Amino acid sequence: MFKKKAKAPKIKKVRFQTFRDAYKVTKSVKPWIGAGIFGVFAITWAIGIAIGIFISHPIYLGFVSLPVAVLAAMFFFTRIASSAAYVSIEGQMGAAASVLMAIRKGWITTPAVAVTKNQDMVHRSIGRAGIVLTGEGTQAIRGMLQDERRKAERFAPGVPVIEIYVGDGADQVPLRKLQKRVAKLPKKLSAHQMREVRARFKAVGGMSMPIPKGPMPKGIRVPKR
């Protein structure tokens, strides 16, 4: 019988590369991240040892609190890296598409179904909530969203169409909150209806465009390079 090839080393290598890339991106935005991680680790471990001294078991508590300190440092890094990842792609062409395409499951996003020479663009996402049209760019994007809404309603009559304008205005959704906004949309379609809508739009497609690359926040998949 043939022996199966071990996959563990490859998986570990991919995870290390992902962590390394995330650290590089975070450090470029927040240069103090290394000192911050060490500080959280040291303080957490010191607290564990201090409790051990208080109960006369410093070695035991030091051993037990070590993995806790590591987890605390990793949690701290994950939170900071999440913020840094958005900052690193904010303002780039296709940043919203990068975030939408990184959602783990339940959504299929077609980037740049409409785009202008000024890099205003609309992305179309289809999920259980219906059709989500996300626009990023100047004020002209509002007219583009309306045009795409009419197209969506023609291709899939009766299916809910949600418009999202990415930005920092009062009626806009910040890039860092885009994924949560889409994920919280109420489900309106059954799985069968969603697949039917996707099939209708499969032939429509979108334009080929560059998507910002780099580590994405925890909870969403890293876009392929």
DSSP 223: P
Q: How far apart (Å, rounded) are the C-alpha atoms in residues 100 and 110?
A: 9
Q: Are 179 and 220 in contact (CB under 8 A)?
A: yes
**Which amino acid is residue 42, in one-letter code?**
A
Q: Given a cut of 70, is residue 205 above it in pLDDT?
A: no
Phi first, then psi: give them for residue 124, nearest 5 degrees.
-115, 125
Q: How much is the pTM?
A: 0.66
Q: How far apart are CA 175 and CA 185, in angstroms?
A: 16
Q: Is the pLDDT of residue 220 over 80?
A: no
Res. 135 pLDDT band, cuts 50 70 90: very high
Rg (Cα) of the chain, in Å, rounded?
Answer: 22
Residue 7 CA, distance from chain mean position: 26
pLDDT tens for each residue of 5-46: 555 555 566 666 777 777 887 888 788 989 999 999 999 999
CB 132 within 8 A of CB 124: yes
What is Dmax (Cα atoms) for the chain?
Answer: 74
Least confident of 77-81, 152-156, 183-187: 77-81
Pairing of strands 121-127, 130-136: antiparallel
Tell me the Ramachandran region of residue 158: left when phi exceeds 0, alpha when psi lies from -120 to 50, beta otherwise: left
pLDDT number for residue 12: 60
Ordered by start, the domain boundaries in the chain are 8-89, 95-202
